[in-house]
Amino acid sequence: MRARFLFLVCWHALVWFHVSRAEIPVIATEPQPFLAATRQVVETAAFLGSPFTTEETAALQQCIQQNDAAAVEKAQRILDARVLFLVTINPEQRVKVSATQALPKLDEAGWHQYLVKVVNEAGTTAALKVSSPEAGQVFFRHYPQPGRADPPPPSPPLSARWLDVQMWDAPPMRPTLSGLNVEYRMIGLYSRDAGKRDAKFHFDVGQGTQDLGFRGETNVLFDCLPAHEVTLRVKDENGEPCMAAFTFTDAAGRVYPSQFKRLAPDFGFQQQIYREDGEKVKLPHGAYHITFQRGPESLPEKREVTINAETKELAFQVKRWIDPAKQGWWSGDHHIHAAGCAHYTSPTEGVHAPDMARHCQGEDLKIGANLTWGPCFDYQKQFFSGKEDKTSQYPFLLRYDIEVSGFGSHKSGHLCLLRLKDQMYPGGDSSKHWPTLGLNTLRWAQKQGAVCGPAHSATGLAVDSNELPNYVIPPFDGIGANEYIVDVTHEVEGPDGKPVPAVDFMSTVDTAPLWELNIWYHTLNAGFRTRISGETDFPCIYGERVGMGRSYAKVDGRLTYDAWCDAIEKGRCYVSDGFSHLMEFTANGVPLGEQSSEVHLPKPGKVTLKAQVASLLSELPRPEFRGQKAPPGSENQKSWGRNFDAFYRRPYWHVERARIGDTREVPVEVIVNGYPVAKRILKADGTVNDLSFDVEIPHSSWVALRILPSAHTNPIFVMVDKKPIRASKRSVDWCLKCVDQCWTSKEPTYDDDEKEDARAAYEHARTVYKKRLAECAAE
């Protein structure tokens, strides 16, 4: 009896399967265009890693050669074996779909290709589109506007979105239907999971073209086969276990695991994932291209591998080209976020410290300042402790601090507040009560010993000039170093009751370099001593990776977050994209950031500048970085003679933009009071070079080194005859005019109860600049 029952079950299943397969009709059509399209299907299947068998390929090639009605019928029967969906478009252009296979197979963490047979009775040449509620991102971004209701939760729940769908419309396939009465399209399906999974599919050829009665949709139950787990062995240059970045792609350029299916610690807006020694990655059998790297101080490794049942481990080891930390120069990024911008708000409100720590370690970024800001502020604020986060693993140190952004004084310029003891401005427990005048925020932060500076400095300072410095007045209409032009003139009370500068640093490396540096150079020429620090503003300005903009700060002894911030405050650091380095910068033997960065001369004379300099370029130029040139005859062209597309493309700072022509060389420049006075050509092969310059100093001045736009030192101040730096009347006059422009732009952003404070702050700035203008000896 049991045997008879099993026979009947199997017989009915077989009959159902054959009935379903028999439903795929063979359609008579013109042989030549149909068989030409068949060739495209064969080529696409091979390209996507799902080739037809040798026998099938030979049979289809024979059909293409035969080129008659019998060949059309035979080709369709071969192709129909791979069809998962039969789509019929009736003469009224209504779309009907049915599934054609029972329990089709998918691969966990991988793509599987099927065919869609299209019976096109309408002859439409529209694109065939497919969607599925089970497909799409497993995360959700929503940043509610004040006074607006939250949107309803996504349906189905994010956790139920196990599928990814891709209709292949790139060559050799057409992007749209051909108009032929029958053709085949290639569909790729990706499964996040293993096991039985059901999905609904909708097909259409434009708005309102689905057939009535739900005939434009169908459900399919899949059997998703488990992926192959591969253990990654990851060692640093010393053979010690470490974290690093991996990018896995197939021949079609598809990224594994699917970015749509990633949750922290893997980020859906990045191609790479970060894995530590001994961790695993799931990959279906097939061929992959792997890129392995651990930040800009290491050399990328590219490797082709084939994953099969025998693949248990893949081993990688970091190959460094430079290690500034060995000399006490510790990398850090003072502006990264765990919430907002590219981060999701569901299933969690942003990500958490272990996730950000993993990314810092994988980029070999020693210091990460996780800044809580407007989005998810009330959730993220719980992680502030006033000390290094417990997820830190020496020497990789993560700490929570604040960016004033999305609240308070953000409209006059975002502020990075580092090394806070208390993250909450007095008078409340959230972000609604903060002052709208940035100077008032700085007074509170400096009183507790914070290190402070404007974020993404060039925002609001764009001008139509390629000159550096230039004297065009910016609009001051953004959220960068805008109110800075006022705040830099102020001293406020420090933690010991003594006056300290209201602003410690300006942020660089994440916005256009000439606009960042222009305002900094002018305020240095006016005698102020603001330093610079490198940032990424991850994942807002840049989401590719943390540490795209970084500071290398000199710290004696054991590295701590507080000591690193102290080095930023003292200017004992250089900023960089990580591909150029300006270490051990000295003037007459005085190291950068020591002895107040001051060198004293009794009268005008020479100073000797020394530094250890290295840069790394690929042997051949990267074409994606070539672009706008400096205007013919401009000073920049005369000085540098290379491209200045840094204004117009990201990443704004990158060593490739410093490349001289098609050589493997970059210029190392000595800057005195904003202008280059000496230059050496450096071969950017990763070798560390000892450079020395003798420079004439006619009056009290500041000096620095740069490889523009890749790296820049902080200044050393050369004091002649004990006189203060008043390097340029034009610079001070520019600053004075900028105060008025900033007031015109920012006055409406200040609350009424702070208006008088703001007027007084701006008037103080005017008074200071007027006094310094009268003190200037040089034009």
User: What's the pLDDT tens digit per position in 517-548?
Assistant: 999 999 999 999 999 999 999 999 999 999 99
C-alpha closest to that of 294 among 545, 659, 462: 545
The pLDDT score that the predictor gives to residue 128 is 96
Torsion of CA 253, 259, 262, 267, to 10 degrees: 110
- pLDDT score recorded for residue 150: 53
- CB count in 10 Å sphere of residue 27: 18
Task: Return the pLDDT at 209.
Answer: 65
Is the pLDDT score of 642 beyond 80?
Answer: no
**What pLDDT band is residue 347 in, cutting at 50, 70 and 90?**
confident
User: Regarding predicted confidence, which is higher, 325 or 216?
Assistant: 325
Query: Each residue of 580-628: pLDDT tens digit?
Result: 999 999 999 999 999 999 999 999 999 999 999 999 999 999 887 765 4
Q: How far apart are CA 130 and CA 103, in angstroms?
A: 20
468 pLDDT higher than 90: yes
The whole-model pTM stands at 0.88
C-alpha R_g of the chain: 31
Over residues 590-599, the pLDDT tens digits come to 999 999 999 9
What is the rounded average pLDDT of the residues 319-331? 98
Whether pLDDT at 152 is above 90: no
Determine the Cα–Cα distance for residues 350 and 263; give it in Å rounded to an integer: 10
Q: What is the pLDDT of residue 7?
A: 38
699-707 average pLDDT score: 98
Q: Give CA separation, 179 vs 80, 118, 126, 184, 504, in Å.
A: 19, 10, 8, 12, 66
Cβ-contact 140, 346 below 8 angstroms: yes
Q: Where are the alpha helices (DSSP H) in 513-651?
A: 513-525, 561-570, 635-639
Residue whose structure tokens are 């050369």: 718
Q: In this predicted structure, what is the pLDDT of residue 630?
A: 37
What count of other Cβ atoms lies within 10 Å of the Cβ of residue 563? Answer: 17
CA dihedral sign of residues 566, 570, 574, 576: positive
For residue 23, give both structure tokens.
Answer: 């439903």
Apex CA 450: angle with CA 555 and CA 573, to 5°? 30
Please count the other Cβ atoms lying within 10 Å of the Cβ belonging to residue 690: 9
pLDDT at 286 exceeding the cut of 70: yes
Distance CA 441, CA 9 (A): 76
In the chain the domains, ranked by start, together with CATH numbers, are: 18-142+155-225 (no CATH), 228-317 (2.60.40.1120), 323-563+728-779 (no CATH), 579-726 (2.60.40)
d(CA 350, CA 380): 8
For 389-400, what is the mean pLDDT? 98
Q: Does residue 81 surpass a pLDDT of 50? A: yes
With H, G, I as helix, E, B as strand and everything else as coil, classify residue 609.
strand
The amino acid sitting at 385 is: S
pLDDT digits (tens, 9 = 90+) for 86-137: 999 999 999 999 999 878 999 999 999 999 999 999 999 999 999 999 997 8
Answer yes or no: are the C-beta atoms of 92 and 141 closer than 8 Å: no
144 — pLDDT class (breaks 50, 70, 90): low
**Average pLDDT, rounded, for the chain:** 92
Distance CA(679)–CA(232), nearest Å, equals 45
When pLDDT is averaged across residues 391-415 and rounded to a whole number, the result is 98
Q: Is the separation of the CB atoms in 332 and 574 below 8 Å?
A: no
For residue 151, the number of C-alpha atoms closer than 13 Å in the C-beta half-sphere is 11
> Distance between CA atoms of 312 and 749, rounded to whole angstroms?
60
pLDDT of residue 210: 66
Tokens of 720: 């002649």
pLDDT of residue 151: 56
∠ CA 576-578-583 to the nearest 5 degrees?
65
Residue 167 in tokens: 């209709």
Residue with tokens 């990814």: 164
pLDDT tens string 1-55: 444 434 333 433 333 333 333 379 999 999 999 999 999 999 999 988 889 999 9
